[in-house]
Amino acid sequence: MATRGYQSYRGRNHGKLALVIVLVLILLAAVGYLVAQEYMVYDDEGHRHLELPFLKKGQTEQPQQPEDTTPDDVNLIIDEPERPLLKELHARQLPDTVLTEDPSAVLAEHPEAVVIPVKLRDGTVTYDTQTAARDTVTTGGPETLTSLKTLLSGDTWTVARIACFADMDFANAQPDQAGLLRTGDGWLWYDDDAACWLDPGKAAAREYLVQLCKECAELGFDEILLDYCTYPVHGRLDRIDYGSVTNLTDTLSVFVEGVREALPKTTALSVLVRDQVTTDANDGGVTLALLTEHFDRIYVDTDTVDAAALQGLLPADFDPVTRLVQVAAEAASSGSYVTR
User: What are the CA-CA distances from residue 273 to residues 240, 260, 291, 300 (Å)?
Assistant: 22, 18, 9, 5
Overall average pLDDT of the 174-185 stretch = 97
Nearest to 264 by CA among 207, 203, 222: 222
At residue 211, does pLDDT exceed 60? yes
Share of the chain above pLDDT 70, in %: 81
Mean pLDDT of the chain, nearest integer: 88
Poorest-pLDDT segment among 46-50, 56-60, 87-91, 183-187: 56-60
Q: Considering only CA atoms, which of 295, 337, 334, 340 is closest in space to residue 314?
A: 295
Burial of 67: CB neighbours in 10 Å, binned 0-12, 13-18, 19+: exposed
Which string of DSSP letters, residue by residue, matches 73-117?
T-----PPPSS------EEEEPPTTGGGS-HHHHHHH--SEEEEE
Residues 6+ apart with CB under 8 A from 309: 276
Residue 315 has pLDDT above 80, yes or no: yes
Specify whether the backbone of 101 is left (phi greater than 0), alpha (psi in -120 to 50) or beta. beta
Residue pair 253/230 in contact by the 8 Å Cβ criterion: no
Range of lowest pLDDT (18-22, 192-196, 287-291): 18-22
DSSP assignment letter at 58: T
- Domain range list for the chain: 16-56, 90-339
pLDDT at residue number 338: 98
How far apart CA 163 and CA 174 sit, in angstroms, is 17
Q: Give me the pLDDT at residue 326, please.
A: 98
Q: How high is the pLDDT of residue 278?
A: 86
pLDDT grade for 2, boundaries at 50, 70 and 90 = very low
**12-62 residue pLDDT tens:** 556 677 777 777 778 777 766 666 666 666 665 656 666 666 555 455 555
Give the integer Cα–Cα distance in Å for 82 and 88: 19
Rounded CA-CA distance 326/338 in Å is: 6
d(CA 308, CA 315): 14
- Give the CATH H-level superfamily of domain 90-339: Glycosidases (3.20.20.80)
pLDDT at 328: 96
Least confident of 54-68, 106-120, 195-209, 222-236: 54-68
Higher pLDDT, 145 or 75: 145
- How confident is the model at residue 21, as a pLDDT? 79
Which segments of the chain are extended strands (E)? 40-42, 48-50, 90-93, 113-119, 157-163, 223-227, 268-273, 297-301, 324-328, 336-339
Mean pLDDT of the 101-108 span: 91
**pLDDT value at residue 240:** 98
How confident is the model at residue 17, as a pLDDT? 74
